[in-house]
Structure 1
Amino acid sequence: MGAKKVLLMYISSVSGHRHASLAIQKALQEVDGGVQTKSIDAFNYTNPFLEKFINKLYTFVIKTVPRIWDYLYDNEDVLARVRKTRSLIHRLNEKKIKELFDDFRPDIVVCTQAFPCGMVADYKRRYNLNTPLIGVLTDYAPHGYWLNEFVDVYIVPTQEIKRKLAQRGIPQQRLRALGIPIDSKFREPGNPAEVLRRLGLDSNLPAILIMGGGQGLGPIKKIVRALDKLRHPAQLIVVCGTNRSLYKWLQKSKPLFTKPVSVMAYAERIDELMSISSFIVTKPGGLTSAEALSKSLPIIIVSPLPGQESLNTRFLLESGVALKVDSFAELRSLAEELLSDAARLEKLRERAHAAALADSAQKSAQLILSMIGGPRFNS
């Protein structure tokens, strides 16, 4: 038998789905150096035009009319109405999927987003394939677009998500509560003093990390303005992602701030930034939340997007690892309290540490490799 081949699929180059896919890919190589892997942006591979259109449409909707996304997300009526449309899109992409399967000949397929997972599941059904398919959920909220009898196993973030999917008809033997896969570097303790020195930050000032996901979404300008008014000494670290206008505005505005503000574009070492921060102010994407928990970093949630982020917020608040503010005055007040109350901050860190599943990528990799040549559950 030749080398094991694992095909990983996600959508969007700046998404948490991609980071989860890359984390699993890295873990597979760490577990079995001989495994062959291929990680693909499914939209870009099958239909680049469709990818650009959908990405722009999604960004437009969540920025301008977020209520629409809230209505569409996990709505059973909408799911039923778009079923034929999804099947048509899958059929249109079928030729490219067949080329991919014929060329790479994967022993197993792993999808970190529901669209490619459904596309591969339909391809399996039409061609009567027994190639195992794993769906990896990267938010603390399941939705109906994941559900498909031709998915062999679902890797889910928590036991609660496992229970909810079982209630929706997925057999228990297809569900594994392993956490959200994140890069193994988030398990490393790191060297905060060295990171502070390398980044030119003040080791005597507490650092507040501000993020808005890979696209730098959310009211980051208002967050920075609010935290710049803190009475307590602090420094701000802002990661802008692909939001170039935000990056330019912050760079231009730096001389006007009273607090030291470090501005970064798309940072590769988020783990290092988290290791030197007192807490993070962010929108609660699944990957960002899992990464923060793995670094025992308290989370302040500002302006969660409807749909998955609202449900992520509920999970984080119920777990006691995050705090949510509804105004920028409240944000400033809460930040003052946390910076002035070391015991409260430490309690949040302890809860985050207890909720973390930092080895999810490694456990996922072990499961994936064990399934190659193993049992199928969709017979």
Structure 2
Amino acid sequence: MAAPRIILMYITEISGHHSATLAVENAIKTLNSNAKILNINAFNYTNPISEKVVNQIYMGVIKKIPQIWDYLYDNPSVAKKIEKIKASIHRFNSPKLKNLFDDFKPDAVACSQAFPCGMVADFKKHYRSGLPLVAILTDYVPHSYWLYDTVDYYVAPSQEVAKSLIKKGIPQERIKPLGIPIDPKFKTEVKRNEIRKEFNLAADKFTVLIMGGGQGLGPIKKIVKSLEGINHHIQEIIITGSNKKLYASLKTKIKKYKQSILLLKYSDSIHELMGISDLIITKPGGITTAEVLTKRLPMLIIHPIPGQEESNTDYLTGHNAAIRLDDPQEAGLVIKELLDNPQRLKYLAESARRLSRPDASLDIAKLLLNLAQQKNV
């Protein structure tokens, strides 16, 4: 039997969406080492300028006028109004997409973002292609920009998302509630004391991991200052990502702080840092959320941005797996209350465990390999 050939597509290079396709790629290779996989940035392939422009606009809106994103996100009327614009862009990209498919000859395609999914869906419709297409949703809300008749399967993060897709008109048989794909290393239990020692952290201190995504966004300085106000002696791990100003500012400030603080720009060991932490303060991106749930880590979410973060927060708080705060200056008070009530911490961790889908990557890989095999029969 010929080796299965699978294309994985995303459009944002440094993002959870790319992490998702990498996780699926690794899972496919685990199940079938002969599989041929092309993991590509669809914008880079079809229109390289688009990625930079779209990302700059998105970050500008999120930082300066998030209420606009709140209006645009999951708004059926907006989605309908821009259908012609999307169709024009897709038609423009179709020749390059056809060249890609003619050259690679994929047996299945999976997309972790709505734009490339729509691009392939419209390609299938235009060329009357039977190429299996899978949409991998990485947030706990199925916005309207995902909806296409020629998507064969929707991978939903949860049963609630599956029900929402059905309400939006997607047949139940085309929905697979398999979870959000994450790197399998997040399933591995770490040796807490050994890892803490490697990072020069105390073995017996309550440890708070503070993250603001790859961009180091959010009121991190206010959070850290708030934690200075509690009497409990804790230790903090702060990851600033690409936010150079934040890193430089904190590097100076923390010298005067009483709490023990480990300040990092990046880390390839997020799974270990989550594993040695007792609580995380983070942006509720879909991939990060799935990783945190798998590590059974109590979560504190401060001032989520409108759109997917708001929806992810509602999902987590609705299932008692996270606490939401809109005022970063109250972070210290909440952590003090949790330290004084260990049963609440335990309950948050147990709720996270119930929501976790640690095998999502493997389950999605199995789906894609089965589709590829059926195409070759």
- Shorter-normalised TM range: over 0.9
Q: Aligned partner of 2:168: which letter?
A: R
CA distance in 1, matches of 2:332, 2:197: 27
Contact 2:107 2:375 in 1 (8 A): no
Once structures 1 and 2 are overlaid, which stretch shifts more, 96-105 or 78-87? 96-105
DSSP-derived class of the 2:205 partner: coil
d(CA) in 1 for partners of 2:320, 2:17: 25
Distance in 2 between residues matched to 1:235 and 1:30, nearest whole Å:
37
> Shift in Å at residue 339 of structure 1?
2.1
Q: Which letter maps to 1:265?
A: K
Q: Give me the whole-angstrom Cα distance separating, in 1, the residues matched to 2:256 and 2:83.
A: 52
Partner in structure 2 of residue 77 of structure 1: 77
Match status 1:20 vs 2:25: no
Q: CA shift at 1:375, angstroms? A: 7.3
Instruction: Compute the TM-score of the two structures, normalised by the length of structure 1.
Output: 0.96
Task: Verify the 8 A CA contact 1:14 1:215 in the aligned structure 2.
Answer: no
- Matched letter for residue 291 of structure 2: E
Cα distance in structure 1, aligned partners of 2:228 and 2:53: 37
Farther off after superposition, 29-38 or 323-332:
323-332
Aligned to 1:118: 118
1:174 is aligned to 2:174: yes
Residue in 1 aligned with 2:37? 37
Take 2:299 and 2:349, find their aligned partners in 1: how far apart are those partners?
Answer: 9
Structure 2 Cα separation of the partners of residues 240 and 221 of structure 1: 10
Alpha-carbon spacing, 1:47–1:375, altered in 2? closer, same or farther (3 Å): closer
Separation in 1, partners of 2:249, 2:91 = 44
In structure 1, what is the Cα distance between the partners aligned to 2:214 and 2:93? Answer: 27
Q: Deviations over 1:191-223 (max 9, x none)?
A: 112211111212121110111112111111111
1:267 — aligned with what? 267
1:359 paired to 2:359: yes
> SS of the counterpart of 2:374?
coil
Distance across 2 between alignment mates of 1:291 and 1:18:
14
CA distance in 2, matches of 1:351, 1:208: 19
The aligned counterpart of 1:236 is 236
- Compare 286-295 and 333-342 and name the one that shifted more: 333-342
> What is residue 309 of structure 1 aligned with on the other side?
309
Give the secondary-structure state (helix, strand or coil) at the position aligned to 1:357.
coil
SS at match of 1:161: helix
User: In structure 2, what is the Cα distance between the partners aligned to 1:227 and 1:44?
Assistant: 42
Q: Is the 8 A contact 2:6 2:372 kept in 1?
A: no
CA distance in 2, matches of 1:221, 1:95: 48
Partners of 1:243 and 1:44 lie apart in 2 by: 24
Q: What amino acid sits opposite 1:197 in the alignment?
A: K
The 1-side partners of 2:112 and 2:32 are apart by 20
Residue in structure 1 matched with residue 148 of structure 2 by the alignment: 148
Bigger shift: residues 334-343 or 361-370:
334-343
Structure 2 portions without partners, runs of 5+:
none
Q: Percent identity?
A: 45
Count residues in correspondence: 376
Q: What's the secondary structure of 2:290's corresponding residue?
A: helix
Q: CA RMSD in A?
A: 1.4
Question: What TM-score results when the alignment is normalised by the length of structure 2?
Answer: 0.97
Name the counterpart of 2:90. Answer: 90
- Structure 1 residue 16 displacement after superposition: 0.9
Point out the more displaced range, 85-94 or 179-188: 85-94
Deviations 1:121-170 (A, max 9, x none): 11111111111000000000011100001100000011111111111111
Map 1:336-347 → 2, pairs under 5 A = 336-347=336-347
Residues 215-264 of structure 1, C-alpha deviation per residue, up to 9 Å, x if partnerless? 11111111111113221111111111222222222223231222121111
Query: In the alignment, which residue of structure 1 is the partner of 2:323?
Result: 323
Question: Could you tell me how far apart the structure 2 residues matched to 1:91 and 1:245 are?
Answer: 41
Q: Deviation of residue 92 (structure 1)?
A: 2.0
1:76-134 Cα shifts (integer Å, max 9, x gaps): 11111111111111122223212221222111001011010000111111111111000
Partner amino acid, structure 2, of 1:163: K
Range with bigger deviation, 242-251 or 6-15 = 242-251
Question: Is 1:370 aligned with 2:370?
Answer: yes
- Is 1:293–1:352's contact at 8 Å kept on the other side of the alignment? yes
Question: Would you say the 8 A contact 1:241–1:266 is kept in 2?
Answer: yes
1:193 aligns with 2:193: yes
What's the CA shift string for 1:11-53, capped at 9, x where partnerless?
A: 2122111111111111111111111111111122222211111
Please give the alpha-carbon distance, in whole angstroms, between the structure 1 residues aligned to 2:15 and 2:268. Answer: 13
User: Structure 2: which amino acid aligns with 1:329?
Assistant: Q
Contact kept in structure 1, 2:121 and 2:150, CA below 8 Å: yes
Match of 2:150, SS state, is coil
Are 2:179 and 2:357, in contact at CA under 8 Å, matched by a contact in 1?
yes
CA contact (8 A) 1:16 1:285 kept: yes
Residue identity opposite 1:350 in structure 2: E
Amino acid at match of 2:167: Q
- Residue in 2 aligned with 1:157? 157
In structure 1, list runs of 5 or more residues that go unmatched: none
- SS of 2:278's equivalent in the other structure is strand
